[in-house]
Chain A
Amino acid sequence: MDYTNQIREIAARLFSENKIDVFVGYRMTGFDENQVPVLIRDPKEVPRLVFNDKSVFNLTNYLKHEHTRGKRVGLVVKGCDSRSLQLLLTESQVKRDRLYVVGIACEGVVDDAGQKYQNCQECVFPDAVVFDEMLGTPKGNGQYQVNADIRELASKDLVERRAYFEEVFENCIRCNACRHSCPMCYCAKCCIDQESSTLYNGANTTSAAFHALMTWSLHLAGRCVDCRNCEKACPSHLPLHLLHKWNEQVIYENFQEHLAGVHEGDRGAFYKYSLQDPDDFIM
């Protein structure tokens, strides 16, 4: 999967036709094989753009960036990124007519060791769902399967799970990189930063980390698209996907909801209800 040349051509064409002000893509870091996002505002810089298996980050996160707000933006999205873009459009965070979306029929991205990421191995929607132009051959939807880590952890007993998660929350340093890297976290003032909530004062405690991560994952329940920007950003390498994948699985199994961001206008499981929802856990 290497669309570097096509993306450079598209970006150059969009700038020459004066269709965009900013192009959001990937560039090489300059010191290793990895890539970082780049905002191209000058057509002369277009040759810096690249796209291949190492283009791991979700660029829709940059739609809340100061240099893209209110501008006409060109954007590269893979399958998972396009779902978060679909949700941002549904939640009225970005305007579709200001975007030019280059969709990718994604074949999965790889980590430093050359291994495909877990979410790419399990990917259900590899093709972009929102696009103006598609690169690659669409493969169609995959079959939803329960995450392997979830299956393993759910089979353990209560005390083991408690011990496992206590360690996870202990290792959190409350840097909030997960929140900042999440494309679905766009609130100008986050509830977990509220000064009135005394639980967060003193910040760096297991208790506060538990509260912050649980609140965060519940705000993303039914909206998380499993791009794993949070995990890639986490300096402590916390398994944050466990919380999101668990919520996704509960919602998928109990409410028969589609995965987040697949359909236009679908705001997620918590914005609607069905009379047939499970009721057996309520006295």
Chain B
Amino acid sequence: MRTTRFWIVLLTLMGLALSACVAPMPAAEAPGAPAPAVGPKTLTIASGTDIENMNVHRVTSSPSFSVLEHIYETLFYMNPEGELEPLLAESLEPGEEEHTFILKLRQGVNFSDGTPFNAEAVKMNLEYVLNPDNGSAFAFLISRIREIEVVDDYTVKLILDSDFAPLAAHLSHGALAMVAPSALEQGNDFLANNAIGTGPYMLERWDRAESVTLVRNPNYWREPPAIDRLVFKVVQEDGARLVEVEAGTVDIAVRVPPAEAARVDANPNVDVITTPGLRTIYIFFNVTREPFDDVRVRQAINYAVDVEAIVNQLFNGAARVSDAPFAPPIFGYKPNPPYARDLEKARALLAEAGVPEGTSLVLYHPTGRYVQDALVADAVRAQLREVGLEVELRTLEWPQYVPFVRAPAGENQVQFAMLGWSTPTMDADYALYALFHSSEHPPGFNGAFYSNPEVDRLLDEARTTVDPEVRRELYAQAIDIIWEEAPWLFLYSEVQLTAIRTNVEGFIVHPNERLIATYADKK
């Protein structure tokens, strides 16, 4: 009797546990079946991380934007070549009054719920981002906008507190995409789980930590995409992502480890494509502290470190030795001859500056934030030993690291430290102003405390100049000075490696780490 009851209880418990397990499972698909070539076409992308949530104004990571930019569209689009194209906007011209811009919108565009895209929608979206209560991390991109006026249904007047040339480039950032007012009105809880935009795809379902599935928007205002269904599948582990793309269970795998690239590329069904990245990795010198207050010491270190060797050995060549403070796809890029390794010159410069052999220095670096970051720091340490500098490495966890290297003047303990800077707007203003302008000393991002009135002037002028050719020239001059004064140890910019099945055509890996399937097709 006792035994029977016991078994009844046990079996009930197990049954409960199992039914709990089985109930919420999504509809079963055939095991890893790639979409058949005929019928609806599905493109599956193995991504490294799940999206944060569906609120495009609040997310911050590239994987999130990669998904959401298929649902939402921006006013302008920065193409992979770094050229700005109108998208939901038709034009942005300076207005008649001072510091104003007139934004003309495309007509006849509807959100996927049928509501119209118009000036009112633009105003609501920009105001949502600017409202600090909404916690939009990219609000600073448009923080110069003081007022947004609806002129008519398809014209918006933006009143700024100063002229700001990169405004259109900034409006191309995914965080400033246009969300349907009907969705914005329903509040942040709704926006975190739903997405209503004007884009080529619509949200079908989001299985958290598993995948996001998008379906084609039947009423898209441009040519509809060829792929019916997009699946962004979360596969964290590098090795597993590669097996998936090799086995054909996914069509695209992001972030191929450099060491695996050649092997995967040798597979006849898979290509590994290389895309320049927008993130530059550098080590900044605190130019207000000895010995880095002497330009010769900073140059000596640039001569002493063999970046080429670091790129070849730690990245299998999958990185680009810096020849400017930012990467080539970015507007305003101007190369300078890299500091090629020259130990004699480095030693001579150090001696000239009165830095004795055996001087100890402390280098701070993050661990696991950037590809191979700790190994790069260690390589720098080893190479600097050859010119008689003893470098001690110190690391902090990322959440601690950022405030540490951004501590204001009185509290700042950094001698030199490694960081990366990505320029998602693909405009030199974003790439240079925050890092080299003297108004951006910590807690800003000019951790070097670099200060040069001429550089300040050039950056200010380029910011308010509308003519792109003049801007390009101004940035070139600023870059030359920065290169010469070396407030950084210039390292490399990242390169993205993506594995793509050979039957996929037209898939775009954007330098800003967005994956674009809108123009893709599958044979």
- Please determine whether chains A and B interact with each other in the same assembly: no
Residues of A within 8 A of B (CB): none
Residues of B within 8 A of A (CB): none
